[in-house]
């Protein structure tokens, strides 16, 4: 979905006003997360790819302009300006799959202010949602302690295109595949799936259903064993394989009951039957905490199917993200609203062994520290093609593997220190003092305490 | 987004197996919510319109078939069957905007089993998400106690098409408008918006920004007053109107600080200036509980802008929904999995003064009770055009207005009793006994306790 109307009305209003007034100076907006949700020590950056596609194609169609004219009363001069409007600016961003922390810009846009303003809504949307989900998915992967984790969330994500983003973001964060066929096709992710209870019920009995499935898919016979009685289902699955002349079953799936206890019993029955290679797939209301409990108890589960709670990031379904004007026409900018002071100016984030430093964009890199923001779009065009998703996934795995347990643990983790550079702090404090003095001079009463 | 691959892989696998085996008998699947999320006493049905559009257009493109052949190894006979496959069945559903309760089918599909199975994923997705959001939005409307509520959620919904669904579902549930321009255009919803902090900051001072906005939009001057100091901002807004020769301001917006206290002060300053008609708009992290607190304290807020927490239904971002096979080829069906027993057979829900009754579809209506499920699709085509959104909105408002406070209150509400009819209970118990006996006869060990 692209198009000029994919924005909030006030962006349109403000853009019209800027253009009417000839306010075409470059603005820099900084997109960052203010604070971590509960139980998160880090975030996984995601959503950039959809942002770049959106920005590159941003324009108003004739239909969009007609709506703005007729329904919103937009004047002719503004309509003509919008008709020509394209995104001509630059974007610098942290690549997808990298570990990031609150207060660090994930993305900075520098463009004529009307353009930068109009794309705000969708940029925030993609980065907020996909970073939320990639982070949640990374927690599930960690919890599984080496077992595979699969995305089963399509049926309960918040809309159909959310399901596509979840398939991609969870794979990026280490999932092994998805049940979402369109998501798998679109992003080249392994598609995976077994059978539903309805399949078993559509046959006169479980045995008939299993036999039919084994006959139709002899090379990938994973049977759902809990429709009537789980242990009896495991035994029926084994009988099915033998009758069908299969040396083994690809897998069995458990979807209800005490998954840990049933997995132990199923493993034992399968092993006694010589089916030591048959995978045990577990699903049903799982999240990182349930997975961690099962893994800690030594449940012999090979594959976790994780659905809704990952797909909507149920315990933390959004991030406190912001897209803030930090400079306009070479003037640093900040607001003073209670509790929401943000540092001005275009920035760079440097990563070092002892923590990260947020600095002014043009500060020299501190010794041995790596800049995280890289140019991804110049003059409205991408600097390079999309990162291959498997490369993003490997980057993500490597970054998480390098984090200490105190940051990655699932409960009450620590985060990493993020400091402002001395120059950025001085710039912020000077601007604050200037704004405060300006308000006192204007007789505007005392400013709120910082 | 439509297309054959918008489904889970196991639906494709099962559909191929059904078709290969000539299992084309009619299946009935029942879509319902198992239980209410915390603090909900009722649900608002939503999502049906997107379901019908999806089902009516369901088909596999050549590209879809190529993917299934090459990447999923689907055999030629299945590919040919899929190429011809359309949804040819019937759908009965509770109209959007009606109040519903757990255990009541919101939608029942009766179709050749492969078709009914393939559309499962997207039907569950739309109904689950949109019912979640409509319910959350209805809570915000109730909390506002007559003040207007506006959807500001686009920037942090779970994807861009989620934002469209939220604009529609929240309007349906009583919101007065949305900031989402494309959502407003698509669904004919009032679009609304003010200005952002960035607008104020892009000018040398707040006074200059306010003057520019008032000059550009004299008939809808709503000024955001909290960029630097809120009370000073209100005074600056009044000076702006006077200098611009405006008799009044359309509104001011508060987006930070103690909204209740600031609203009282702003109202007093505005009233003293003779601007008694200037609306006070409040926003910033609002949800139904914050709104209720503000309203209970008598805060003079005219319009609440509600964003993220409504748009993702932050405290309950999903519902425990299910799409269960209840009959196949005229045979009633149920599963016995632990804790997940569902009643078999196609059903009807009857609403009466004392509560709802879930009955067999062909039972006569109990005296004075109204059936909730109505035919919406027959032989794969809609029975009628879409319900006009404003009609759905009025229906929803009337249904909620008729509910007692004990069901609509925001904390620890009661729900409404939903009983099974005597015939449905007998049918379920008989089938349970048959399945249990069948399993004992098959030597499958004792069944789990119900």
Sheet architecture: strand order including B321-328: B331-332, B321-328, B26-33, B107-112, B90-93, B374-378, B381-382
pLDDT tens-digit series, residues B64-80? 999 999 999 999 999 99
Residue whose tokens read 């509104």: B251
For position A446, what pLDDT does the model report?
Answer: 44
Per-residue confidence at B448, pLDDT binned at 50, 70, 90?
Answer: very low
Q: Are B219 and B249 in contact (CB under 8 A)?
A: no
For position A449, what pLDDT does the model report?
Answer: 36
CB contact under 8 A, A154 and B125: yes
- Three-state DSSP class for residue A66: helix
For position A203, what pLDDT does the model report?
Answer: 96
pLDDT tens-digit series, residues B38-60? 999 999 999 999 999 999 999 99
Q: Supply φ then ψ for residue B382, to 5 degrees.
A: -60, 145
CB contact under 8 A, B216 and A16: yes
For position B126, what pLDDT does the model report?
Answer: 98
Stretch A362-376: mean pLDDT, rounded?
Answer: 95
Percent of chain A residues past pLDDT 70, beyond the cut: 96
CB pairs under 8 A between A and B: 341
Per-residue confidence at A435, pLDDT binned at 50, 70, 90?
Answer: confident
CB contact under 8 A, A17 and B328: no
pLDDT tens-digit series, residues B295-352? 999 999 999 999 999 999 999 999 999 999 999 998 999 877 655 667 899 999 999 9
Percent of chain B residues past pLDDT 90, beyond the cut: 92
pLDDT tens-digit series, residues A4-53? 999 999 999 999 999 999 999 999 999 999 999 999 999 999 999 999 99
Integer Cα distance of B90 and B380 in angstroms: 6
Residue whose tokens read 């105190």: A406
Does CATH number 3.30.1360.80 belong to domain A147-311?
no
The DSSP letter of residue B288 is: H
For position A336, what pLDDT does the model report?
Answer: 75
For position B334, what pLDDT does the model report?
Answer: 86
Domain ranges (residues) in chain B: 9-133+326-441, 145-311
A-chain CB neighbours of B317 within 8 Å are 158, 312-314, 317
- A contact residues 227-246, partner B, Cβ 8 Å cutoff: 227-229, 231-232, 235-236
Closest residue in A to B192 (Cα–Cα): A9
- B contact residues 391-430, partner A, Cβ 8 Å cutoff: none
How many helices, marked H, and strands, marked E, lie in chain A?
17, 19
Helix (H) or strand (E) holding A370: strand A370-371
Helix (H) or strand (E) holding B101: none
Question: Cα dist. B433→A198, A225, B422, B426 in Å?
Answer: 19, 20, 16, 11
Handedness of CA A77, A82, A83, A86 (dihedral sign): positive
pLDDT tens-digit series, residues A265-291? 999 999 999 999 999 999 999 999 999
Percent of chain B residues past pLDDT 70, beyond the cut: 96
The DSSP letter of residue B88 is: -
Does CATH number 3.40.50.11390 belong to domain B145-311?
no
Closest residue in A to B197 (Cα–Cα): A335
Query: Any CB–CB contact under 8 A between B210 and chain A?
Result: no
B-chain CB neighbours of A12 within 8 Å are 181, 193
The partner residue sitting opposite B17, judged by closest CB among A7, A197, A212, is: A212
Output the pTM of the full model: 0.97
Integer Cα distance of B329 and A15 in angstroms: 60
For the cut 70, the answer to whether the pLDDT of residue A347 exceeds it is yes
Integer Cα distance of B10 and A192 in angstroms: 8
Query: Any CB–CB contact under 8 A between A333 and chain B?
Result: yes
For position B336, what pLDDT does the model report?
Answer: 75
For position B337, what pLDDT does the model report?
Answer: 65
For the cut 60, the answer to whether the pLDDT of residue B1 exceeds it is no
B-chain CB neighbours of A158 within 8 Å are 129, 132-133, 157-159, 162, 165, 312, 317
Per-residue confidence at B419, pLDDT binned at 50, 70, 90?
Answer: very high
Q: What rounded mean pLDDT belongs to chain A?
A: 95
Stretch A171-191: mean pLDDT, rounded?
Answer: 98
pLDDT tens-digit series, residues A407-419? 999 999 999 999 9
From 3.40.50.300, 3.10.300.10, 3.20.140.10, 3.40.50.2000, which CATH number describes the B9-133+326-441 domain?
A: 3.20.140.10
Residue whose tokens read 């400079």: A327
For position A323, what pLDDT does the model report?
Answer: 97
CB contact under 8 A, A217 and B12: no
pLDDT tens-digit series, residues B223-271? 999 999 999 999 999 999 999 999 999 999 999 999 999 999 999 999 9
Stretch A81-91: mean pLDDT, rounded?
Answer: 98
pLDDT tens-digit series, residues B94-143? 999 999 999 999 999 999 999 999 999 999 999 999 999 999 999 999 99
For the cut 80, the answer to whether the pLDDT of residue A340 exceeds it is no
Stretch A362-391: mean pLDDT, rounded?
Answer: 96
Residues paired with residue B280 on neighbouring β-strands, in sequence order: B252
CB contact under 8 A, A202 and B10: no
For the cut 80, the answer to whether the pLDDT of residue A2 exceeds it is no
For position B445, what pLDDT does the model report?
Answer: 45
Integer Cα distance of A3 and A57 in angstroms: 8
Query: Any CB–CB contact under 8 A between A110 and chain B?
Result: no
A-chain CB neighbours of B133 within 8 Å are 158
Question: Cα dist. B278→A137, B144, B238, B253, B309 in Å?
Answer: 47, 18, 10, 10, 27
Q: Which carries the bigger pLDDT value, residue A85 or residue A337?
A: A85
Integer Cα distance of B376 and A205 in angstroms: 33
The ipTM value here is: 0.96
The partner residue sitting opposite A205, judged by closest CB among B117, B193, B438, is: B438
Which of A2, A3, A6, A10 is the best mutation test for B, with the most CBs of B within 10 A?
A10
CB contact under 8 A, B155 and A128: yes
Q: Which carries the bigger pLDDT value, residue B338 or residue B23?
A: B23
Per-residue confidence at A370, pLDDT binned at 50, 70, 90?
Answer: very high
A-chain CB neighbours of B153 within 8 Å are none
CB contact under 8 A, A198 and B161: no
CB contact under 8 A, A444 and B235: yes
């Amino acid at each position: 979905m692209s198009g000029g109307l994919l924005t909030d009305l006030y962006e349109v209003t403000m853009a019209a006003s800027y253009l009417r007034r000839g306010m075409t100076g470059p603005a820099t907006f900084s997109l960052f997360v203010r604070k971590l949700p509960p139980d998160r020590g880090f975030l996984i950056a995601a959503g950039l790819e959809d942002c770049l596609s959106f920005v590159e194609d941003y324009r108003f169609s004739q239909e969009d302009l007609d709506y703005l004219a007729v329904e919103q009363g937009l004047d002719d001069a503004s309509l003509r300006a919008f008709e020509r409007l394209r995104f001509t600016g630059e974007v610098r961003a942290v690549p997808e799959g990298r570990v990031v922390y609150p207060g660090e810009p994930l993305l900075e846009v520098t463009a004529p202010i009307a353009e930068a303003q109009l794309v705000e809504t969708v940029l925030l949307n993609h980065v907020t949602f996909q970073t939320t989900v990639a982070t949640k998915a990374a927690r599930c992967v960690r919890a599984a302690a080496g077992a595979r984790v699969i995305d089963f969330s399509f049926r309960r994500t918040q809309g159909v295109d959310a399901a596509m983003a979840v398939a991609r973001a969870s794979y990026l964060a280490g999932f092994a595949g998805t049940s979402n066929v369109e998501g798998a096709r679109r992003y080249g992710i392994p598609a995976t799936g077994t059978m539903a209870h309805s399949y078993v019920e559509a046959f006169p009995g479980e045995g008939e259903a299993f036999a039919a499935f084994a006959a139709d898919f002899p090379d990938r016979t994973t049977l759902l064993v809990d429709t009537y009685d789980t242990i009896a289902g495991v035994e029926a699955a084994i009988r099915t394989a033998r009758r069908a002349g299969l040396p083994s079953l690809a897998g069995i799936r458990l979807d209800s009951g005490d998954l840990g206890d049933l997995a132990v019993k199923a493993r034992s029955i399968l092993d006694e039957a010589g089916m030591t290679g048959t995978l045990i797939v577990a699903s049903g209301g799982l999240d990182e905490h349930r997975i961690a409990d099962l893994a800690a108890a030594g449940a012999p589960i090979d594959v976790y199917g994780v659905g809704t709670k990952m797909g909507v990031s149920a315990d933390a379904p959004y991030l406190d993200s912001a897209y803030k004007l930090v400079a306009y026409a070479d003037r640093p900018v900040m607001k003073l609203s209670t509790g929401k002071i943000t540092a001005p100016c275009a920035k760079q984030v440097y990563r070092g062994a002892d923590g990260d430093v947020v600095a002014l964009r043009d500060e020299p890199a501190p010794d041995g520290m790596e800049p995280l923001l890289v140019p991804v779009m110049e003059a409205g065009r991408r600097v390079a093609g999309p990162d291959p998703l498997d490369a993003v996934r490997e980057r993500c795995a490597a970054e998480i593997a390098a984090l200490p347990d105190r940051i990655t643990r699932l409960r009450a983790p620590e985060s990493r220190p993020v400091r402002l550079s001395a120059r950025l702090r001085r710039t912020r404090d000077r601007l604050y003092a200037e704004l405060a003095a300006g308000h006192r001079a204007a007789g505007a009463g005392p400013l709120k305490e910082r």
